[in-house]
Amino acid sequence: MPGFEFFGEKERAEVQDVLDSGVLMRYGFDGVRNNNWKALELEEALTKRMGVNHAQLVSSGTAALTVALASAGIGAGDEVIMPTFTFVASFEAILSVGAVPVLVDVDDTLTLDPVAVANAVNAKTKAVMPVHMCGSMANLRALKTICDKNNLILLEDACQAIGGTYEGKPLGSYGDLGCFSFDYVKTITCGEGGAVITNNETFYKNADHYSDHGHDHIGKDRGAEDHPFLGYNYRISELHAAVGLAQIGRLDEFIAIQKKTYTVLRTALEAIPEVTYRTVPEGGEENYSFLTIFLPTEELTRKAHKALGEAGVDACFYWYDNNWHYYRKWSHLTNLTSLGKVPNEVKEQMPDYSKADFSKSDQWVGRTISCLIKLGWTDEEVKNRAVKMAEAIKSIL
């Protein structure tokens, strides 16, 4: 991770096809595009790789979440349960459709705690959004049981976890809808892009229409297409799709590299009894894009993070203080700071997060360090990194 480390001839060839045709838009211009349909090809590749019936490409992972929510009919006044540890896009997407983000605690998986989810469900809850952070998954079986019992949508945010699996199914394909990000720092990249996957025909048609101004895409005359409902512009371009088309074919290659590196680094740390690891739910396999560890206390974790940096071990993250990924720094959500007026349903239903008790999340995230796994490291660099990581952590114990 990320895929841009391995840009090469395959990506250049796909992009050159688009440039040669001169058609950068995914829809229309049939007669001059030389039969280049990169977005369609990538959608077909995604459905095959993810084992689902449908995929809809969009302009970003945030767009994917927004389109997925809208395609399931989630809107004003509906509540969506999401974790305290994620990226801000999770609540941005929920708010963008007029719904209410309901934050709940994470557990030792660093994803949604099923007990906290069950306690948060009420008559206004419409969806549960587990976020498979740093390459590993939530307890999807437990969450699906809750959703089935309460007739809720299970929407997987797999933006950081493409290539991981749960009970033999690719992450993103277990729930009613799954979302991916293909931005510049993801395991596979389009530069900018995202996708919604589903087996639900209605959700797919809704996503297809909604992401392109409501176009129904019937017939071959774009100007004559009908608009069954309101939509917006979340389209991906052919140039971005072309890059992703080359990269999806390399996903297994990337995952294998990540797993090899992850294993070397984890083996080096397993000799340190104070270091423990996030829980991967039974039946799950992460995509190995991060090595995520716990230390015994927040104080030791802060010291270890500092020691890693001083030892030259880059790309290690202490999420507890992170501006983008943990609820403690989301003042704009807590205060509903917005350029425009916030819908009344949101203002009236939003929990008061300034008084929320997320101490259960704090006791996990406060002791967490995640180290990014890069694709481009040589074997020697990985070995040296493993030694430095172990020495830095031992030095503060």
Task: Give the per-residue pLDDT at 194.
Answer: 98
Average pLDDT over residues 139-150: 98
Which residues lie below 8 Å from residue 335, measured CB to CB, with a gap of 6+? none
Q: What is the mean pLDDT of the chain?
A: 97
E strands within the chain?
54-58, 79-83, 100-104, 125-128, 153-157, 165-166, 169-170, 177-181, 194-198, 276-277, 284-285, 290-294, 316-317, 368-372
For the chain, give every domain's residue range: 3-251, 252-394
Per residue in 67-76, pLDDT tens?
999 999 999 9
Task: Give the per-residue pLDDT at 123.
Answer: 98
Chain-centre distance of CA 127, in angstroms?
16
Among candidate residues 186, 260, 341, 374, the one labeled active-site is 186
User: What are the CA-CA distances from residue 24 to residues 16, 38, 248 (Å)?
Assistant: 11, 10, 20
Contact 302, 366 (CB under 8 A): no
Q: How large is the greatest C-alpha to C-alpha distance in the chain, in angstroms?
A: 69
Task: Give the per-residue pLDDT at 146.
Answer: 98
Average pLDDT over residues 281-285: 98
Q: Mapping DSSP to helix (H, G, I), strand (E, B) and coil, where does residue 279 land?
A: coil
**How far is it, in rounded angstroms, from Cα 196 to Cα 70?**
12
- Which pairing describes strands 194-198 and 177-181: parallel, antiparallel, or unpaired? antiparallel
Structure tokens at 71: 């395609």
Task: Give the per-residue pLDDT at 51.
Answer: 98
Which residues lie below 8 Å from residue 340, measured CB to CB, with a gap of 6+? none
**How far is it, in rounded angstroms, from Cα 243 to Cα 145?**
38
CA-CA-CA-CA torsion sign (208, 211, 216, 219): negative
CATH code: domain 3-251 is 3.40.640.10
Average pLDDT over residues 277-285: 98
Work out the number of other CB atoms within 10 angstroms of the CB of residue 59. Answer: 20
Average pLDDT over residues 1-5: 90
| Cα radius of gyration rounded to whole Å, the chain | 21
Per residue in 189-215, pLDDT tens?
999 999 999 999 999 999 999 999 999
Q: Which DSSP letter does residue 220 get?
A: S
Q: Mapping DSSP to helix (H, G, I), strand (E, B) and coil, where does residue 234 land?
A: coil
Per residue in 97-116, pLDDT tens?
999 999 999 999 999 999 99
Structure tokens at 205: 């048609």
Predicted TM-score (pTM) of this structure: 0.97
Concatenated DSSP letters of 108-136: TTSSB-HHHHHHH--TTEEEE--B-GGG-
Determine if the peptide bond prior to 170 is cis (ω within 30°). no
360 is catalytic: no
Q: Mapping DSSP to helix (H, G, I), strand (E, B) and coil, where does residue 289 land?
A: coil
Supply φ then ψ for residue 74, to 5 degrees.
-85, 130
Reply yes or no on whether the pLDDT at 127 is more than 90: yes
Task: Give the per-residue pLDDT at 154.
Answer: 99
**How far is it, in rounded angstroms, from Cα 37 to Cα 49?**
18
Supply φ then ψ for residue 228, to 5 degrees.
-65, -30
Name the helix (H) or strand (E) containing 19: helix 9-21
Reply yes or no on whether the pLDDT at 1 is more than 90: no
Contact 55, 43 (CB under 8 A): yes
200 CB-side CA count, 13 A: 18
Alpha helices for 32-113 (secondary structure H): 38-50, 61-71, 89-96
Closest CA to 127 of 162, 91, 165: 91
Q: Give ∠ CA 252-256-258 in degrees, rounded to 5.
A: 115
Reply yes or no on whether the pLDDT at 222 is more than 90: yes
Reply yes or no on whether the pLDDT at 356 is more than 90: yes
CATH code: domain 252-394 is 3.90.1150.10
